Structure 1
């Protein structure tokens, strides 16, 4: 790793800078395909999700190109005369990786849904239903802004009657919407069919909250956000033929 740099806040940035330095010193030429994610992850002792995020970071730096169904290609050699200070200043240390954000949402929002099932009023349920109706309209007209999706999650948070929880949920959504990493990940996703599956997930969450079943609401939200993670990983996979889907196959958290 580049020794004189201040240690980045994010693990994906540490891995990204390690790969940057390796590319700067390596035999790879412009146009060469880099090793698969699995090999990089095993060699550096991190998950493929972190490697995926590190590669997105290098893509934003316009050093590599991630080609769907093919692999990762070097499109520009890291500059030998790039100073450590210049390189460090190019990092957005506040930009969390998209899968890290998803895990945070999963831990928080599953318990928010659980609590909402004990606190939700009739007015809250109506707001959730209206949000799902908007989500259906968004899907029908191929609106990529996900307004209904966002409003549904906000309505669940508001049903807790706890303003701190509402702020936490909204903050995570705001971070997602302002994240260059998140936008770059989505630039590789063209198939929107997954949104219908997420709508079904939302209907299950609403049903559990409406029936005032906290455990069922927590589990439904957990499974929904697990589905979101899996979907994003699959749809952004750049080596389709060898994708094995194991990135989140084991989860240390018991629900």
Structure 2
């Protein structure tokens, strides 16, 4: 079981057992992580996942609380999870991205200049080695949009931007639920940039394909 999944289950068990009820405030992060035998980073990711589905309410500067847990609150928040787990059309969107993004990256390889390469490397440097899921997804959008812009086709850029927005929630959920996905995404981005720096269109396209396939393969498993 993934560490984050274990953390989520432990917090949910506290709620089911009545140790935490609707409106209750969670113990401080250090205290709770020690009580549950979890690292603080795993606990943060679990809290973030439970916040997204409205089991928890994170109030900046105040603390983290259990929500009302009323059906309307939980069902509303679960709509995007239902999208991922029941709507196979998302896979079709990823199939379109798999066709278009490698092609756009290959076109960018023929046009890219040294300052463009440094810009892309700068995006990775600014992100750091251990970004949060939110930071990674925001970076991912900028990174892919910049490469599509370098392809020099405004229609292609616009189409890919639409596809990227349509698959955003799936990428967030993968980042929260799959161990190592953040590190893999960063490594794949670095490999794409290095291929662009070499001007190797075939290599860029291959690495972009692998990158898109990683999320698509996770989604295939998720909707089974």
Q: Which runs of 5+ in 1 are unaligned?
A: 1-58, 67-71, 73-94, 239-255
* Alpha-carbon distance change, 189 to 98 in structure 1, aligned in 2, over 3 angstroms: farther
| Compared CA separation, residues 96 and 214, structure 1 to 2 (3 A) | same
TM-score, normalising length: structure 2: 0.54
Q: Distance in 1 between matches of 2:166 and 2:95?
A: 14
Q: Is the CA contact (8 Å cut-off) linking 2:133 and 2:182 kept in structure 1?
A: no
Task: State which of 121, 126, 130 in structure 1 corresponds to 2:113.
Answer: 121
Shift of 1:102: 1.0
Matched residues in 2 for 1:204 and 1:146: separation? 18
Residue 194 of structure 2 is matched in structure 1 by 207
TM-score by length of 1: 0.48
Corresponding position of 1:130: 122
Who is 2:212 aligned against?
225
Residue 202 of structure 1 aligns to a residue whose secondary structure is: helix
Cα distance in 2, alignment partners of residues 203 and 188 from structure 1: 18
After the TM superposition, list the runs of 4 or more consecutive aligned residues in structure 1 that deviate by more than 4 angstroms.
59-63
1:144, distance to aligned residue in structure 2 (A): 5.7
Report the CA distance between 1:166 and its aligned residue: 1.4
Paired residue total: 145
CA contact (8 A) 1:106 1:225 kept: yes
Describe the SS at the equivalent of 1:201: helix
The answer to whether the 8 Å contact 1:132/1:149 transfers is no
Determine if the alignment matches structure 1 residue 152 to structure 2 residue 152.
no
* 2:173 aligns with one of 165, 180, 186: 186
Determine the C-alpha separation between the residues in 2 that align with 1:187 and 1:222: 18
TM-superposed CA distance for 1:226, in Å, is 1.2
C-alpha deviation, 1:115, in angstroms: 0.7
C-alpha distance in 1 between matches for 2:94 and 2:101: 10
Question: 1:163 aligned to 128, 139, 154, which one?
Answer: 154
User: For 2:177, what is the secondary structure of its paired residue?
Assistant: coil
- Aligned pairs for 1:1-255 (under 5 A) are 60=79, 97-136=89-128, 139-143=130-134, 146-177=137-168, 182=170, 186=173, 190-234=177-221, 236=222
Distance 1:221 1:142, change over 3 A: closer
Q: CA RMSD in A?
A: 3.4
Q: Structure 2: where are the runs of 5+ without partners?
A: 1-77
1:114 Cα deviation from its structure 2 partner: 0.7
- 1:61 Cα offset (Å): 11
- The answer to which structure has the higher helix fraction is 2
